[in-house]
């Protein structure tokens, strides 16, 4: 006989992950113009696309840690701006080489799908 408590725990985890994904995608939808404007302000052309992906990655990594001490929109703006400023500092310090322009190991299909969904205006 299968352990139903173990199955229920897996189901609860799936519900939580679905809720997490839905909240994250809702946050992206609400802030897509702001995120793209920041990426375009700090990088040009293909680099703006790369920066937008980096912003999405940083938001994804830190979304669980949002504590609500500010509005979600303010928090998103600060994460995006800090990511863009770090990107710009690195761009001014590191010379562009073929190794530094290769695709990041974090460029997953999911972040690409999110970027393309927020870039539709």
Give residue 99's pLDDT. 43
Instruction: Kindly report whether the global pTM for this prediction surpasses the value 0.75.
Output: no
Total number of domains constituting the chain: 1
Decide which of 86 and 111 is more confident: 86
Question: Which pLDDT tens digit goes with each residue over 50-97?
Answer: 999 999 999 999 998 989 899 999 999 999 999 999 999 988 755 444
CATH code where residue 18 lies: 1.10.1740.10
For 81, the domain range is 4-119
Is the Cα torsion angle 56, 59, 62, 63 positive or negative in sign?
A: negative
Decide which of 107 and 89 is more confident: 89
Q: 2: helix, coil or strand? A: coil
């Amino acid at each position: 006989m299968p352990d139903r408590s173990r199955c229920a725990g897996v189901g609860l985890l799936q519900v939580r992950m679905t809720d997490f994904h839905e909240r994250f995608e809702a946050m992206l939808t609400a802030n897509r113009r702001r995120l793209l404007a920041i990426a375009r302000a700090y990088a040009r052309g293909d680099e703006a696309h790369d920066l937008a992906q980096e912003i999405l990655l940083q938001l994804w990594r830190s979304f669980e840690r949002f504590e609500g001490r500010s509005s979600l929109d303010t928090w998103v703006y600060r994460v995006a701006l800090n990511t863009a400023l770090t990107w710009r500092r690195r761009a001014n310090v590191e010379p562009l080489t073929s190794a530094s322009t290769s695709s990041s190991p974090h460029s997953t299909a999911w972040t690409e799908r999110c970027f393309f969904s927020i870039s539709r205006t």
